[in-house]
Amino acid sequence: MTKFSDLNLHPKVLKAVEEAGYESPTPIQAGAIPPALEGRDVLGIAQTGTGKTASFTLPMITKLARGRARARMPRSLVLCPTRELAAQVAENFDSYAKHVRLTKALLIGGVSFKEQDMLIDRGVDVLIATPGRLLDHFERGKLLLTGVQIMVVDEADRMLDMGFIPDIERIFSLTPFTRQTLFFSATMAPEIERITNTFLSDPARIEVARQATTSETITQSVIMFKASRKDRESSEKRKLLRDVIESEGEKCRNAIIFCNRKVDVDITAKSMKKYGLDAAPIHGDLEQSQRMKTLESFRDGSLRFLVASDVAARGLDIPNVSHVFNFDVPSHAEDYVHRIGRTGRAGKKGTTIMICTPRDERNLADVERLLKTEIPYQDIPGATKGAAPVAEPVETAKADPKPQDEKKPSRRSRSRTSSASKSSEPAVSDVDAEVKTEKPRSTKTEKPKNDKPQAKEKHADKHSNKGQSVGMGDHLPSFIALSFESRRSG
């Protein structure tokens, strides 16, 4: 088995790694670090939670240990899609470079430009930034990228989803052609493939797992949910989430709940707090200081539930997350891989549960197509718990055997019944059932139903004699006949 000591890292870097409690590198680390130390471009493809951050931080620190940065000209650049991921990379550098004299600056939104300008003016060895804030500093004339020796693009597929690809291409053009590029992603979309072919020179390609695979330590399941009424869907879905959390019991030590929309993040977090669940929201519209405070509370265990948008799905290394709940099926299939990658990290076991409504089934099919496997479904917890007894009419039950199966047969159609819908519908008494199924019909309603078929048959007989002219026949009115008689006699 390969050890960190076999990778030719700087002795002071090895010391920091040992103090962090790591002995053996992960497959992506063992594959990426040697060519990175040789100065080659690296294209790393690995699922989230496999240690990609250390794959570029350790060789960068080793190579930058000698030398000194000049004012406004960083020696290395790390691009991250989100503020949280950039802050996490900065923490990794602080941990692994604590015995090496290297300077660092973090350029992210929500922080004063003045403080960041002061760091850049002193000269930094490592510049960690989001694309937007980096270009802001460049356009203000506070930053030069002509001294960049090593450039890292982390979570490239997330950059693509967030629309940063034009910014990435511009930043590439501002750096020297002789730079070394380390490019990491969990998936390789065609657009990302084009960029790597354009800006990477004969890269060492390290792919430690099939693209868009999930860790084997994660237990996945999906719950098919159908609300009792359309206007009750949101509230019943939140109730279902609370029931699922309750059914997990002590196994659910903490969890991240992912929603597709920011407004649902706020509403879900508020609802959970109302019902006694310690939860807080995190999404892009919140102040950076509040987002960092919420993340820190979740990391240290003082906050049990983190309700998040996809801003928290990529690259965040939050240890010991026992559960991930997908309150919504993600719109982009790749996001599912990154969401559930927040649990089951570093070989630990994790659990993920997703709630799927009928209109989300297309997105669910996209996820399963990406994974090349079906996600097991599970029954709704406590489906009969607390539900009022319902005596459904016999005829009604027979008339609706498959409400949606006629459109597309589904292995999950039998599970499309929510506990919320059962408990929210009023009970039907036996008397009501008899009235609905055995109500006598009056003679008035029977006559038209009996007459209509006869009229149709008679009308059909008239037009069934092909080749014969059908006139007025015996039904010729007398006044017309009289008119013909008078003309003939005259």
Q: What is the extent of the structural domain holding 8?
A: 4-207
Last residue of a domain, one of 387, 414, 430: 430
pLDDT at 252: 95
Tell me the pTM: 0.62
DSSP of 305-325: EEEE-GGGTSS---TT--EEE
* Residue 467 domain-assigned (yes or no): no
**123 and 260 housed in the same domain:** no
What is the rounded distance in angstroms from the CA atom of residue 151 to the CA atom of residue 420? Answer: 52
Residues 163 and 16 in one domain: yes
Instruction: Supply the pLDDT for residue 432.
Output: 36
pLDDT of residue 189: 82
pLDDT in tens, 421-441: 444 433 333 333 333 434 444
Low-confidence ranges of the chain (pLDDT < 50): 384-409, 411-469
Do 157 and 304 lie in one domain? The reply is no
Residue partners of 402: CB distance under 8 A and separation at least 6: 413
Give pLDDT, residue 231. Answer: 92
CATH number, domain of 67, equals 3.40.50.300
For residue 320, give both structure tokens.
Answer: 């010991």
The pLDDT of residue 486 = 57
On whether both 276 and 197 belong to a single domain, the answer is no
Which are the contacts of 209, defined by CB distance < 8 A and separation ≥ 6?
27, 45, 46, 47, 50
H or E segment to which residue 119 belongs? helix 113-122
**Judgement on whether residues 223 and 195 belong to the same structural domain of the protein:** no
What's the angle, vertex CA 213, arms to CA 184 and CA 415, rounded to 5?
140
Please give the pLDDT value at position 203.
Answer: 95
- Residue 465 domain-assigned? no
Q: Whole-angstrom Cα distance, residue 415 to residue 410? A: 10
Is residue 453 one of the residues assigned to a domain? no
Query: Residue 66's pLDDT is what?
Result: 83
Nearest to 255 by CA among 340, 332, 336, 328: 340
Tell me if 442 is assigned to some domain: no
Q: What is the DSSP string of 343-403?
A: SSGGG--EEEEEEE-GGGHHHHHHHHHHHTSPPPB-PPTTTTTTPPP----HHHHHH-S-T
pLDDT value for 451: 47
Q: Are 226 and 158 members of one domain?
A: no
Residue 95, in any domain of the structure: yes
pLDDT of res. 369: 92
Q: What is the DSSP string of 96-113?
A: HTTTS---EEEE-TTS-H
Compute how many other C-beta atoms are within 10 angstroms of the C-beta atom of residue 68.
Answer: 11
Q: Is residue 16 part of a domain?
A: yes
pLDDT at position 397 is 37
Are residues 244 and 197 part of one domain?
no
**Dihedral class, residue 303 (left if φ above 0, else alpha if ψ from -120 to 50, else beta):** beta
Q: Which of 430, 448, 471 is the last residue of a domain?
A: 430
Are residues 302 and 239 part of one domain?
Answer: yes
pLDDT recorded at residue 414: 39
pLDDT digits (tens, 9 = 90+) for 364-380: 999 999 888 999 988 88
Residue at which a domain ends, from 173, 207, 241: 207
Question: Tokens 């069934």 appear where?
Answer: 464
Residue 480 has what pLDDT?
A: 62
| C-alpha to C-alpha distances, 392 to 7, 379, 395, 398, 435, nearest whole angstrom | 70, 22, 9, 10, 12
Long-range contacts from 395-400, C-beta under 8 angstroms, 24+ separation: 395/436, 395/437, 396/436, 396/437
Reported as type and span, the H/E element at residue 199 is helix 190-199
Phi, psi for residue 200 in degrees, rounded to 5:
-105, 140
- Model confidence over 25-71: pLDDT tens digits? 989 999 999 999 999 999 998 876 678 899 999 999 999 988 888 88
State residue 230 phi and psi, 5-degree precision. Answer: -60, -40
- Examine the domain organization and report whether 180 and 223 are in the same domain: no
- Do residues 225 and 317 share a domain? yes
Give the chain's domain count: 2
Residue 229 and residue 199 share a domain: no
Q: Are 135 and 60 in contact (CB under 8 A)?
A: no
182, 156, 167, 204: which is closest to 315 by C-alpha?
Answer: 156
In a domain, 439, yes or no: no
- Do 304 and 365 lie in a common domain? yes
